[in-house]
Amino acid sequence: MESQGEFAPTQTLPDESDPKSHRNRTLDVRFTGSGSEYFRIWIVNLLLTLVTLTLYWPFARARRMAYFQNNTLVGGDPLGFHADPWKMFRGYMVMLVLGIGYWAITNFVPSLSWVPFLVLMVLWPALWRASLQFRLRNTSWRGVRFAFEGDLKSAYLAMLPFFLPGLAFVLAIPALEADEKMVGGSAQVAAAAMGLVTLVFMVLAPWFWVRMKRYQHGGYSFAQERTELQLGAGQMYLLFFKLLGVILLVLLAAVALALAIVALTVGVAAVTDGFGRGAGRSAMVFIPIAIFACFYIAMPLILGPYAASRTQNLLWDNTRSEQLTFQSQLRFRSLFRVTLVNWLLIVITLGLYWPFAKVRTARVKLEAMAVDVDGDVDQWLVKAQQRDKGVLGDAAGDFFGMDMGL
């Protein structure tokens, strides 16, 4: 009698010509960098930046970006980085000149401090767009360059609302300082107007932020795919109120911790002083200091990881194209644990653990990401490589060559 296990069951291989065989493929993201490798890059960058009075900074930035991107694997294939550091240096010099000009005018001709701010307000959206073009055009995956296709008009519409409150302050403050004879009522009206501008900006800040991110995430392009951000302002306002809640909880926890520390300190002092008045006076002075210290330490340690994790998930879960869907499952607990350990080791090593901390943070953020593909990626790449112009590719946006983050 023939054995049933003699032959393995027949398996039908997927037909490569059938487009359904390429659907629903998930590309995971892995980061292979190590702290010891990046430490060598970081220490050389730091020394050369100090020796050259920061002129080496764009070259150091290029080396850092190349290391992190070359060690970021999407579906098992690394990202490439092809930027010319000299173009980044040119952009750095533009920003350096703008910064020095602003410092000189505000210190020597404060009445004209609005001029450099106005120049920056006019130029910044164009510089921001150019930096996005530069960064993406010099990033590749499997030999195909990314691109940023946002137009200049939309960049101004997205960014200008952030500058208008600042311009109002820059115009108002010198006038208040110059008018020494301003009566009390006028000064109160001016202060109330500035407070109202600040309040309106804070209320509208989530909406402004969503507009900016829609432009940014709506301009990413790879092969024939261009992304869009399907994120409503209501979702951002919900996150905004959650952040306010976290701030309140951190404040209450800081007050409780500070009071506990003060109670313990006063108790010890009371025993040693024989319950003298010195313990009470010390407590009144020490309580606000302790509250501020606890809040100052706890706020970035808790709010930073919470905001970063929720923002990353909110942005990338709502970024998609016709055949690409992004996933982000970054957990607050994971990022908080990494941040806490990083802080402790940075303090213990007097800052030398910083490059290791950057690697650990990058790993936990990147490996929370994944890309769902609905289609044949190989066909996209073949068509894109046929259209590409080679290693240098399109130089649009490369004049300034600045990296201000994506």
Q: What is the pLDDT of residues 307-365, one digit of tens each?
A: 999 999 999 999 999 999 999 999 999 999 999 999 999 999 999 999 999 999 999 99
Position 173 scores a pLDDT of 59
Position 257 scores a pLDDT of 78
The model's pLDDT over 103-129, given as tens digits with 9 standing for 90+, comes to 888 788 877 777 877 888 888 898 899
Residue 285 lies in domain: 232-309
Residues 92-117: b if buried by 16+ CB within 10 A, e if exposed: bebeeebeeebeebbeeeeeebbebb
Last residue of a domain, one of 309, 333, 364: 309
Token pair recorded at residue 182: 């301003």
pTM exceeds 0.85, yes or no? no
Residue 47 lies in a domain: no
Residue 332 lies in a domain: no
Judge if 105 and 209 occupy the same domain. yes
- The residue with tokens 């030999």 is 143
Q: Give the pairing of strands 144-148 and 139-141.
A: antiparallel
Last residue of a domain, one of 309, 342, 369: 309
Nearest Cα to Cα of residue 360 among 383, 378, 387, 341: 341
How far is 206 from 202, CA to CA, in rounded Å?
A: 8
Q: Go through the chain and tell me how many residues it has.
A: 406
Judge if 302 and 289 occupy the same domain. yes
Judge if 108 and 181 occupy the same domain. yes
CA atoms within 13 A of residue 132's CA, in its CB half-sphere = 22
Residues of the chain with pLDDT under 70: 1-23, 168-191, 193, 262, 265-287, 385-406
Residue 218 lies in a domain: yes
Contact 288, 309 (CB under 8 A): no
Residue 42 lies in a domain: no
Please tell me the total count of domains within the chain.
2
- Spatial neighbors of 239 by CB under 8 A, at least 6 apart, are 206, 310, 311, 314
Judge if 208 and 267 occupy the same domain. no
Judge if 111 and 198 occupy the same domain. yes
Q: What percent of the chain has pLDDT over 70?
A: 76
Last residue of a domain, one of 285, 309, 333: 309
In the beta sheet, which residues pair with residue 284?
none
Judge if 86 and 227 occupy the same domain. yes
Judge if 289 and 164 occupy the same domain. no
User: Left, alpha or beta for 259 (phi > 0: left; psi -120 to 50: alpha)?
Assistant: alpha
Position 392 scores a pLDDT of 37
Position 253 scores a pLDDT of 84
Token pair recorded at residue 279: 């313990």
CA angle 37, 38, 43 (to 5 degrees): 110
